[in-house]
């Protein structure tokens, strides 16, 4: 393992806290920052976030603060674990606080609707001159916090940075691979949330495993075609941050996107489902961006299109599935045809 690193985690939701516990157990000095003083007070008093990560105690050695200057000062690593909709705002607040070349690891998943930028793009825009990387994969906070075996991928612009992240995060229950494809990793992480909403909707409608398998398989097809058109690597979408992350998000009840989808399938409106889940449902924020990217790169994305119509245009969920089933006939893969 790497020598002790000083790490600040920005964001005290489930994922931020699970990473804090992981890194603490790896022997690193960890600080957790939250923008909400009430959240900081709760963590200091109870050493647990019973809403986002119930049952996981936050060790006393982990410092918790609402002071961003203090959290950002002289750290080896800054981990961005705020919800994607707060990434720009939080990164903007870091201006002037960080040394040139500071390592910032984004662990959130999403695409900004107004700009169609990935989260590492946003961080680079808001705080230029930093070493911005990504850590992603099939990794529910609830399981990482309990030390259940999990695998992720560290994506960075240099091999040296990726391997440093690998060394800091890796443990006997958290395996880290390295990759140069930062864009592909981020697109897989953001777009799978939209497909997971579709999988949840199918569950809410009472459909079965056949339907889910179809959505996962055709969903990764849509994600891959768009991702490759944008410059991501095909192999990335076949890996942990592509099909791996999609499987876990479509299959697990830990998935907020799937849970929201189930409620929508049962007849809830998007707003009602979000309220009921009571946590950030990233797929709702990424759905419009995914559709816009499909149009920009001229990629057909029928599942993502229908998810948008259900979420924002009032299309009945059962009708959306029927529309997908009776689309015009085609081959499964244009590369596998007769001469």
Is 192 a catalytic site residue? yes
Instruction: Note whether 24 and 14 are within 8 A (CB).
Output: no
What is the spatial distance between Cα 319 and Cα 194, in angstroms, rounded to a whole number?
18
- Count of other CB atoms within 10 angstroms of residue 257: 28
**Cα distance between the two ends of the chain:** 53
Catalytic choice (192, 233, 288, 306): 192
Question: Which domains are seen in the chain, by residue range?
Answer: 6-180 (3.40.50.720), 183-325 (1.10.1040.10)
Q: pTM value?
A: 0.95
Report H helices in the chain.
Answer: 14-25, 37-46, 68-72, 87-93, 119-126, 141-144, 159-169, 182-204, 209-230, 234-237, 245-251, 256-265, 270-277, 282-296, 302-312, 317-325
Strands 77-80 and 174-179 come out as: unpaired
pLDDT in tens, the chain (339 residues): 568 999 999 999 999 999 999 999 999 999 999 999 999 999 999 999 998 999 999 999 999 999 999 999 999 999 999 999 999 999 999 999 999 999 999 999 999 999 999 999 999 999 999 999 999 999 999 999 999 999 999 999 999 999 999 999 999 999 999 999 999 999 999 999 999 999 999 999 999 999 999 999 999 999 999 999 999 999 999 999 999 999 999 998 888 999 999 999 999 998 899 889 887 788 888 999 999 999 999 999 999 999 999 999 999 999 999 999 999 889 998 889 998
Q: CB-based contacts of 225: which residues, under 8 Å, 6+ apart?
A: 299, 300, 301
Q: What are phi and psi of 151, to 5 degrees?
A: -125, 140
């Amino acid at each position: 393992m790497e020598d002790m690193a000083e790490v600040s985690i920005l964001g005290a939701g489930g994922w931020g806290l699970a990473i804090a516990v992981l890194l603490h157990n790896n022997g690193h000095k960890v600080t957790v920052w939250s923008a909400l003083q009430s959240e900081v007070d709760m963590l200091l008093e109870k050493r647990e976030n019973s809403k986002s990560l119930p049952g996981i105690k936050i060790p006393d050695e982990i410092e918790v603060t609402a002071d961003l200057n203090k959290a950002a000062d002289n750290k080896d690593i800054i981990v961005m674990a705020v919800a994607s909709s707060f990434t720009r705002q939080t990164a903007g607040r870091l201006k002037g606080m960080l040394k040139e070349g500071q390592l910032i690891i984004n662990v959130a998943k999403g695409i900004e609707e107004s700009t169609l930028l990935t989260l590492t793009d946003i961080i680079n825009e808001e705080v230029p001159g930093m070493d911005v990387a990504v850590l992603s994969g099939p990794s529910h906070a609830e399981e990482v916090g309990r030390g259940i075996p999990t695998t992720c991928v560290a994506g960075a612009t240099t091999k040296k940075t990726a391997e440093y992240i690998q060394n800091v995060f890796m443990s006997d229950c958290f395996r880290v691979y390295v990759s140069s494809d930062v864009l592909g990793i981020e697109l897989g992480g953001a777009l799978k949330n939209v497909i997971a909403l579709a999988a949840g909707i199918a569950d809410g409608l009472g459909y079965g495993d056949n339907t889910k398998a179809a959505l996962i398989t055709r969903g990764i097809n849509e994600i891959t075609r768009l991702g490759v058109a944008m410059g991501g690597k095909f192999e990335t979408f076949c890996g942990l941050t592509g099909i791996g992350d999609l499987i876990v998000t479509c299959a697990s009840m830990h998935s907020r996107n799937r849970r929201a989808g189930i409620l929508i399938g049962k007849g809830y409106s998007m707003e009602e489902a979000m309220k009921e889940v009571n946590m950030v449902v990233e797929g709702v924020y990424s759905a419009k961006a995914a559709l816009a990217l499909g149009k920009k790169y001229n990629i057909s994305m029928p599942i993502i299109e229908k998810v948008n119509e259900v979420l924002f245009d009032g299309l009945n969920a059962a009708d959306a599935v029927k529309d997908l089933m009776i689309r015009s006939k085609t081959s499964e893969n244009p590369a596998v045809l007769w001469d």
